[in-house]
Structure 1
Amino acid sequence: MKVSLSNCIEDVEWSRMKEIYCSVGWKKHDEEKIKKVFQSSNVVAIAYDKNKITGFGRALSDGVFNAAIYDVVVDEHYQNKGIGQQIIENLLAQLKNVSCVHLVSTSGNEEFYRKAGFRKMKTGMARYLNLSLAKEYLE
């Protein structure tokens, strides 16, 4: 399914963004937090089917050496139609001159990112304040 992609959040319907997070089980994201994280991200990709948001992704970057991709999320009703791939391609195109792009995959989605060219890191490390996330993602 071909969607149109926007790199602007100016007219984003935040309630729809929350619906999409909820559709994949991320229920702790309220509209205010969603708006804050997207406004704080310097790279965004919002996928639209006509005027309806179907998915999105965001990244933080210094524009030269490093970037980190976060929250690549596609509405449960639009999954497995290539939309996530289009979002990743758009984000990576915006980050094409950045030396290293990091991301943390949600459990079970590692193969999706492998297909997009990502590989496991030998030295990746993290710290989680949320104990359940620490148990899921840390060794």
Structure 2
Amino acid sequence: MNISILNTIENVDWSRMKEIYHSVGWKKHNEEKIKKIFTLSNVVTIAYDKDKIVGFGRAMSDGVFNAAIYDVVIEDTYQHKGIGQQIIGDLLAQLKEISCVHLVATTGNEEFYRKVGFSKIKTGMARYLNPALTEEYLE
């Protein structure tokens, strides 16, 4: 498998992006929302197998001090093939001058992020509007 990485949303197939979100159970993502979040993200990485999108990630950064990585998602049938590591590596390469990069791992994926260089933070805090997410992620 020859995965290529692009850092643009130009000519992206938004319906394919939705399929990938849905393949991992993120069913609330529709094409309009996906296009909005990627358009507003200033760092993007999209992985292709030939001309087919198989995974992606995005980040938002102030360009100087801080960044946050969001939505590292690999189509279910392409998982465990190193694509997630490539996406994280590419995002971090784009953020190489940023001193603090945060992310929130989805439940069960903490070990993956440890392996690619992330550590738990002592002072992290969040608020969620969705009670189910509050229950899942907050102490």
**TM superposition score normalised by structure 1:** 0.99
Q: Distance in 1 between matches of 2:77 and 2:116?
A: 22
The count of corresponding residues between Structure 1 and Structure 2 is 139
Compute the displacement of 1:86 (Å): 0.2
Q: Distance in 2 between matches of 1:35 and 1:131?
A: 26
Compute the displacement of 1:45 (Å): 0.1
Give the structure 2 partner of residue 123 of structure 1: 123
Compute the displacement of 1:26 (Å): 0.2
What's the % identity of the aligned pairs?
76
Give the structure 1 partner of residue 43 of structure 2: 43
Q: What are the residue-to-residue correspondences of 1:33-112 with 2, within 5 Å?
A: 33-112=33-112
Give the structure 2 partner of residue 6 of structure 1: 6
**TM superposition score normalised by structure 2:** 0.99
When the two chains are superposed, the root-mean-square deviation of aligned CA atoms in Å is: 0.6
> Could you tell me whether the CA contact under 8 Å between 1:2 and 1:83 is conserved in 2?
no
Give the structure 2 partner of residue 31 of structure 1: 31
Compute the displacement of 1:136 (Å): 0.2
The amino acid of 1:37's aligned partner reads I
2:124 aligned counterpart, secondary structure: coil
The answer as to 2:18 corresponding to 1:18 is: yes
Deviations 1:43-75 (A, max 9, x none): 000000000000000000001100000000000
Q: Distance in 2 between matches of 1:107 and 1:126?
A: 15
Compute the displacement of 1:2 (Å): 3.9
The amino acid of 2:52's aligned partner reads K
Q: Distance in 1 between matches of 2:2 and 2:62?
A: 30
Q: Distance in 2 between matches of 1:135 and 1:58?
A: 25
> Could you tell me whether the CA contact under 8 Å between 1:43 and 1:58 is conserved in 2?
yes
Compute the displacement of 1:30 (Å): 0.5
The amino acid of 1:123's aligned partner reads T
